[in-house]
Amino acid sequence: MPYLSIKDLCYTYDIGDIPALRGVDLEVEKGELMAVVGPNAAGKSTLARAVKGLIKPQSGKIVIDGQAVEGTFPDSRVGYLLSNPENQLVTSIVEEDIAFGLETQGIEPFRIRAAVDRTLGMLGIERFRRAMPHRMSCGQQQMVALAGALAPDPHVLILDEPTAYLDPKGAAAVMKVLEGLAQDGRTVIFITHDMEEASRAHRIALLVNGRVVRVSAPYELFRDLEAVKLGRLKQPFAVRMAQRLEQEGVALPRPSACLDNVVPMLEKLLDHRPLAPFPPAGFSKGREKRRDNRHGLSYCGVSFRYRSSGPGGVEVLRGLDLEVRKGSMMVLCGANGTGKSTLLQMANGLLKPDSGRVLLEGAPLEKAAARPGGIPARAAILFQNPERQVFAETVFDDVAFGPRNLGVGEDEVRARVMEAMEWTGLSPRILKRSPFRLSGGQLRRVAIAGILAMKPDLVVLDEPTDGLDPLGAGELISRAAQYVESTGTTVLMATHRVPESNLQGCDLSVLDGGRIVACGYPDEILFGTQSSLALEFMPPHIRVQHELIRRGRIIPEPSLDIERAVAALVGAVKGFQ
């Protein structure tokens, strides 16, 4: 008998709305680690709320260990993590926030202290014990919210994108904790748009249009191209490699979807290859001339310290220099807490440096404030949490808000709204809907559309792919590059890791220790001999190439493109069999 049983679950938020859940059936065993994947607006977050007991479905039932989840109040047997960690933090000190749920259950103080200590240690965040959550990065806040869900030691965990705001090191630490909890007999369900993470689950449930359409082991799901297309998923690199090798007649005894198994598999197949040095970086040959070398956004010797974070504050940026060319797209990569959001908020004047200058197209940013619409008309920003800037009753009014405040006529407003919706891949059918009835990924696109509708000179995007399904994330990067090419707008985009999308034509910079430690073409930074970017921040196909080279295996010239990398590695295997 399954430990968690969901039968024919149906739920609609409001009369006339499209059903969020349409007869969901799912069984999860005790001690199982299950991933839930699917496109944006598939009903994943709604399912999580139902399992926690936060909503009461119109029909169907949820049973945990033989006892029903009533749906009229939160079920204490279930630990729950919201997709937006800010909505789960309620106190001003981290350890108090972690203790809050235990206090509401009337647990003895000494047990609460022990649980808080245990959870802080489990997640490796002891240093944040006395920190203020509202002064933390979104990734750090997510760790605190997760600690609050884990502290009561629940029988079942349902976690809505638990690593969405985390850098690769933090995400790996969380996945290790979840695997350990499952081994200890906890039932763990996590929603994710990261297929590399999903591949580490025992089984994966694919949710599409409010229904579970497939439940299977990771490799079996990802090798099914129809299921991958239906769920707007991406095949993990391990599956792509295994399938291509099998197509070429290379026998694989135990193919896996897990990235950790790719290098050992290839090493075994390349067992007799001779050693070779790291190939020289010759990527600059034959490059097209840059389209525009004029100044777009310039940071000149910028330093910044948060004053309200204890004695002396916390220094985030230290004499930082960065140049974003006009009409180009730069991807800024860095770990949680390195100051990416701080740097971005300086680009439109929300924060001012303690020293140094920020220039927009060669002029001090303050000059833009004197123009109609002020700084936001020229430098528009997407916050890491889109709920901070979406507020209107309908999607149309939200996207139209900026142009209307610039004094644009209503006909032009409508034209700008439709153009922005197209650039962000949103359907006009949602224009009359409330943005707060949309999925997290759709909400993020609405926030981006509101920025584009203002037609600024500079677009600043803080983690724009968080909450997007795998195809949507790739599409957004591609659309952003096309937008830059079409309009000449300057785009600065912050990410936790280098996107898998082909970044040829973009610039890449790395933020660490309060300074830019690398800046240039992506291939030079990712494959050059002076690369300072840790492997875990790189896309899987690049990590595999690096690891093989580090182990002394000859591979053809490294490639940023996934398909070329797969073809090169398969060719190397075929050539030495």
Q: In the predicted model, is pLDDT for residue 274 greater than 80?
A: no
Which regions of the chain carry the CATH code 3.40.50.300? Answer: 4-233, 298-520
Q: How far is CA 291 from the centre of its chain?
A: 30
- 438 vs 210, higher pLDDT: 210
Q: In the predicted model, is pLDDT for residue 285 greater than 50?
A: no
Task: Using pLDDT thresholds of 50, 70 and 90, give the confidence band for residue 312.
Answer: low
Task: Using pLDDT thresholds of 50, 70 and 90, give the confidence band for residue 441.
Answer: confident
Q: What is the rounded average pLDDT for all residues in the chain?
A: 89
Pure H helices in 151-236: 168-183, 195-198, 218-222, 225-230
Contacts of 169 (CB under 8 A, 6+ apart): 335, 534, 536
Q: Quote the CA–CA distance of 371 and 387 in Å, as a whole number.
A: 28
Contact 201, 34 (CB under 8 A): yes
Nearest to 455 by CA among 396, 547, 516, 372: 372
Q: Quote the CA–CA distance of 125 and 132 in Å, as a whole number.
A: 13
Contacts of 501 (CB under 8 A, 6+ apart): 473, 474, 477, 478
pLDDT, average across residues 305-326: 84
Secondary structure class of 322 (helix, strand, coil): strand
Q: What is the pLDDT of residue 554?
A: 65
pLDDT in tens, 123-160: 999 999 999 998 888 889 999 999 999 999 999 999 99
> Considering the domain 298-520 in this protein, what is its CATH number?
3.40.50.300
Q: Quote the CA–CA distance of 255 and 251 in Å, as a whole number.
A: 9
Task: Using pLDDT thresholds of 50, 70 and 90, give the confidence band for residue 232.
Answer: very high
Q: Quote the CA–CA distance of 528 and 58 in Å, as a whole number.
A: 57
Task: Using pLDDT thresholds of 50, 70 and 90, give the confidence band for residue 190.
Answer: very high
Q: What is the pLDDT of residue 307?
A: 78
pLDDT, average across residues 118-126: 95
DSSP 100: H
pLDDT, average across residues 42-46: 95
Nearest to 222 by CA among 206, 239, 238: 239
Least-confidence region, from 193-202, 268-277, 323-332, 358-367: 268-277
Q: What is the pLDDT of residue 529?
A: 63
The DSSP result for 10-39, as a single string, is: EE-SSTTSPPSEEEEEEEE-TT-EEEEE--
Least-confidence region, from 81-85, 93-97, 287-291: 287-291
Q: In the predicted model, is pLDDT for residue 550 greater than 90?
A: no
% of the chain exceeding 70 in pLDDT: 92
pLDDT, average across residues 106-118: 95
Q: Quote the CA–CA distance of 58 and 55 in Å, as a whole number.
A: 9
Maximum mean pLDDT: which of 103-107, 213-217, 570-574:
213-217
Within 10 angstroms of residue 70's Cβ, the number of other Cβ atoms is 11
Q: In the predicted model, is pLDDT for residue 546 greater than 60?
A: yes
Top-tier CATH class for 4-233: alpha beta
- 72 vs 459, higher pLDDT: 459
Nearest to 63 by CA among 36, 32, 25: 25
Q: What is the pLDDT of residue 376?
A: 81
pLDDT in tens, 393-421: 999 999 999 999 999 999 999 999 999 99
pLDDT, average across residues 508-534: 86
pLDDT, average across residues 279-295: 51
Tell me the whole-structure pTM to 2 decimals.
0.89
Task: Using pLDDT thresholds of 50, 70 and 90, give the confidence band for residue 294.
Answer: confident
Q: In the predicted model, is pLDDT for residue 289 greater than 60?
A: no
